[in-house]
Structure 1
Amino acid sequence: MIVAMASLIPSFAVKPTLVGEWVLLRPVAADDAVGLVEMLSDPEVRRLTGTHGQACPGTELERAEQWYSSRAGHDNRLDLAIVEQRTNSYVGEVVLNELDADNRSCSFRIALVGPRVFGRGYGTEATRLVLSHAFGTVGMHRVTLEVFAFNPRARHVYEQVGFVHEGTMRQALHWQGDWVDAHLMALLAEDWSAHRGYPKLSG
């Protein structure tokens, strides 16, 4: 009985490759570090993700390579590169982290390299792919995220795939002199089972 129960404990030890129509998700590698530095150096990406501090591309590459090289060794998080299939190029990352195995929950985040790939549907497809893996393969019960109030485009994408707004952390981010709210959203396994990332939206 103990062995049977242990087999049900969710883990991100397996690092999959997930294939969609426009993008594929694969485990991040050191070679993706250039793309990560590009992403973290883009002012708009830094604003939307609430990343403080100054980007230093000249000194960041080695750290990015070390970071991506070490991701395979963690069973409590899943870091996947978003790759545009047409060009086989890195266009962002999607991450499941903060795994709470006892409660079968984790956090979700996604980032694209910048405005040059915004609006192409890559983020939406990547989100559906990784959520299908989280609920259908890993056995998650709940996946959560935070999105800042000044990022309505991202919130719209999250709502399109089934995330539900659960609350607001008021003035959670101090950005260039302004206080910005962070919205809390979540998706449950039963909801995913019902719509598979294509909920019927009101209005």
Structure 2
Amino acid sequence: MIDKRALRDEPTLTGKHVRLVPLGPEHTDAYFAAGLDEEIRRLTGTHHHLTYAEARDWCARRPRRPDRLDLAITDPRDGRFLGELSLYSVVPENESAGYRIALSALAFTGRGLGREATRMVLEYAFEQVGLHRVWLYVYAFNMRAIAVYRSCGFSVEGRLRDSLLWEGRRHDALLMAVLRNGARRS
């Protein structure tokens, strides 16, 4: 059974290299700046350039939502914004939700931060929220992300052919999911 309070209560989860905190208005500047990074936009398939006003509105509307959980990934030492993640499209009747994560700069990739953040949020999703299944989409060219997801217990369940058109080329997306009993913890 889903505990919607676990979504609304906005947890702070602390790991060795990352702290997950509720995404809020204080993250607007860093969230907006991350949206300007062309490589991050390609990896996430983000065509739309957010205006600062849109970024401010997005961050302001995140807190205390009963239907999703949006967290900022921060450095536990100095609070620096490293990225953000979400559990979204929560379907209580199916005990399932979608997942997405984006580090805010390529400088933060390859250091295990995304893996640690993903494992932490999966543990919260399964143990506190009460989810049974968490799914995501990842572009087939994003091999680093696919490896991270696999290391956290995700398996490929399907392929969405030609789902992204980026600079004149079409790319497939993979549907991946992990079940409560398949998640790998640190």
TM-score, structure 2 length as denominator?
A: 0.94
Is residue 16 from structure 1 mapped to residue 11 from structure 2 by the alignment? Answer: yes
Determine which of 136, 143, 148 is the counterpart of 2:127. 136
Q: Indicate conservation of the 8 Å contact 1:77/1:96, yes or no.
A: yes
What stretches of structure 2 of length at least 5 have no aligned partner? Answer: none
Distance in 2, matches of 1:24 and 1:113, equals 15
Determine which of 129, 147, 156 is the counterpart of 1:165. 156
Which amino acid in structure 1 is aligned with residue 87 of structure 2?
Answer: L
Is residue 147 from structure 1 mapped to residue 142 from structure 2 by the alignment? Answer: no
Q: Which runs of 4+ in 1 moved over 6 A?
A: none
What is the root-mean-square deviation in Å for CA atoms of aligned residues? Answer: 1.3
TM-score, structure 1 length as denominator?
A: 0.87
- Specify the alignment match of 2:21 in structure 1: 26
| Structural mapping, 1:86-165, within 5 Å | 86-165=77-156
Q: Which is higher, the Rg of structure 1 or of structure 2?
A: 1
Distance in 1, matches of 2:94 and 2:53, equals 36
- Specify the alignment match of 1:5 in structure 2: none
Is residue 197 from structure 1 mapped to residue 182 from structure 2 by the alignment? Answer: no
Deviation at 1:87, TM superposition (A): 2.5
How many residues are aligned here?
184
Determine which of 33, 44, 47 is the counterpart of 1:52. 47
Report the secondary structure of 1:86's partner residue. Answer: coil
Q: Indicate conservation of the 8 Å contact 1:172/1:181, yes or no.
A: yes
What stretches of structure 1 of length at least 5 have no aligned partner? Answer: 1-7, 199-203
